[in-house]
Amino acid sequence: MSRETLSLALLFAVAVLFVFSGTPVLAADAVKADVIVLPTPQTTGGKPLMEALFARRSDRVFSDADVSLQETSNLLWATWGINRKDGQRTAPTAKNTQAVEVYVVLENGVWRYDAVKNILGRVLDQNVTTKVGDAPMTLLYAAPEKDPFAGMHVGSLYQNAGLYCASAGLSNVVKNTGARALDGILTLPDGYKIFILQSVGWPKNDKPEDSQ
């Protein structure tokens, strides 16, 4: 139910966008709801860093509770958002190449995070959740296969995500298992591969009262 609810919420957001934008955002031939406008990320609050570090851990069991659009936006911003006017990010990259792509796997497909526009753009219209571990939400981290710093870059991102999860009370686990599962299914930028993935959801039987 929860993943369906998130899917519906995402589709609703697109429908609202479509109705109120006079259609310029979605081209006439792309009325497949392929763009989700994320809410503005909440970039204040949360647990103090030391408390988030204390809470950081891997959890592999998730409840069916929703990960809201707001939580999704916050999580993605913490992971790989833009935190300065010059376009630099919440995670460092060697020579500021920013050569990492983050994808979000939901029941209604796979979505690419566009931090500049704060949107998700659908890149696969297919339910592949079971291939990547069946969590309510799975983040995929892709980087150039031959980039010697790629592993370090994606590691910075998944640690950002893990700390956000710890701060927000979300469960997560970084997983190598499943990283190859979408080979030949998901089209990535030339030379990119999925290095690692990260399952995210609310802890079983422990959804915070104030979560959305």
Ligand X SMILES: Cc1cc2nc3c(=O)[nH]c(=O)nc-3n(C[C@H](O)[C@H](O)[C@H](O)COP(=O)(O)O)c2cc1C
CB atoms within 10 A of CB 145: 12
Distance CA 92, CA 7 (A): 31
Nearest distance, CB of residue 161 and ligand X, angstroms: 12
Nearest distance, CB of residue 5 and ligand X, angstroms: 26
The two tokens of residue 123 are 């890149």
CA 208 from chain center: how many Å? 20
Pick 53 or 185: Cβ nearer ligand X: 53
Nearest distance, CB of residue 6 and ligand X, angstroms: 23
Pick 117 or 180: Cβ nearer ligand X: 180
- Residue closest to ligand X, measured at CB: 58
CB atoms within 10 A of CB 205: 8
Q: Which residue in 77, 63, 74, 68 sits closest to 6, CA to CA?
A: 68
Pick 57 or 117: Cβ nearer ligand X: 57
Which spans of this chain sit near ligand X (rule: CB under 6 A)? Answer: 57-58, 60, 173-177, 196
User: Residue written as tokens 């892709």?
Assistant: 142
Nearest distance, CB of residue 56 and ligand X, angstroms: 7
Pick 10 or 194: Cβ nearer ligand X: 194
